């Protein structure tokens, strides 16, 4: 997974996965992507960056279940207008965290404050599987380029290295997993 340079094979696979025009958002173009990055103080990880610039800014077909939302959008079940979101602040987690089952992964921090950071710092929201089960692409912090599912119960990283799935990590691996029709968490 290369988050700084777009891999032509990954881009070809992304184009193939989204080849059907489903009425989703058209590609933003490089000027709009750079303006978004400047406004939020981030550089989007590849291949997502090239995807929204050249392929599509959202799709009704997915992934996830209720479609891929546009770069500057939030899923309809988000619950507020997202004004507290700060993409330039690092995504706070480096390992999965189930809110009710474990203590906060950082000593001397209020768990509710860390949950608020997980929801609002360092990630773009890619979409929802419904019931506040949202997929995030981390854009700042140690897990930049990784996909995380954040729910009311906790936050779990996506990718074979984390043990919940057999798929490659990152945006391209996440889309390939969806395009293959596999269950999200398919590791035995």
The boundaries of the domain holding residue 14 are 8-71+84-179
| pLDDT the model gives residue 34 | 97
Greatest CA separation for the chain: 49
Assigned domain for 79 exists: no
Pairing of strands 134-138, 154-158: unpaired
| pLDDT the model gives residue 56 | 94
Assigned domain for 184 exists: no
Tell the residue number behind the tokens 């773009």, with chain if given: 124
Please name the residues in contact with 58: beta carbons below 8 A apart, sequence gap of 6 or more. Answer: 24, 25, 67, 68, 69, 70, 71, 73
Assigned domain for 2 exists: no
Assigned domain for 76 exists: no
Q: Report the chain's C-alpha Rg in angstroms.
A: 16
State the Cα–Cα distance between residues 31 and 117, nearest whole angstrom. 29
Please state, as a whole number, how many other Cβ atoms lie within 10 Å of the Cβ of residue 155. Answer: 24
| pLDDT the model gives residue 139 | 98
Beta bridge partner(s), residue 136: 125, 148
The pLDDT tens digits along the chain (188 residues) read: 777 889 999 999 999 999 887 888 899 999 999 999 999 999 999 999 999 999 999 999 889 999 999 998 998 878 765 567 999 999 999 888 888 776 666 666 777 888 889 999 999 999 999 988 999 999 999 999 999 999 988 999 999 999 889 999 999 999 999 999 888 888 76
Assigned domain for 77 exists: no
Assigned domain for 62 exists: yes
Number of independent structural domains in the chain: 1
Assigned domain for 67 exists: yes
Assigned domain for 97 exists: yes
């Amino acid at each position: 997974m290369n988050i700084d340079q777009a891999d032509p094979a990954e881009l070809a696979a992304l184009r193939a996965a989204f080849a059907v025009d489903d009425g989703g958002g058209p590609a933003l173009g490089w000027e709009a992507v750079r303006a978004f990055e400047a406004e939020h103080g981030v550089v989007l990880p590849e291949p997502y960056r090239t995807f929204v610039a050249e392929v599509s800014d959202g799709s009704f077909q997915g992934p996830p279940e209720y479609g891929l939302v546009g770069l500057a959008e939030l899923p309809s079940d988000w619950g507020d207008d997202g004004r507290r979101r700060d993409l330039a602040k690092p995504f706070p987690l480096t390992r999965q965290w189930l809110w009710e089952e474990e203590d906060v992964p950082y000593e001397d921090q209020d768990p509710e404050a860390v949950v608020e950071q997980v929801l609002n710092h360092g990630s773009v929201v890619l979409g929802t599987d419904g019931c506040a089960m949202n997929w995030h692409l981390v854009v700042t912090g140690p897990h930049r380029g990784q996909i995380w599912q954040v729910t009311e119960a906790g936050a779990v990283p996506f990718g074979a290295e984390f043990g919940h799935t057999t798929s490659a990590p990152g945006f391209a691996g996440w889309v390939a997993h969806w395009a293959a029709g596999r269950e999200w968490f398919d590791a035995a």
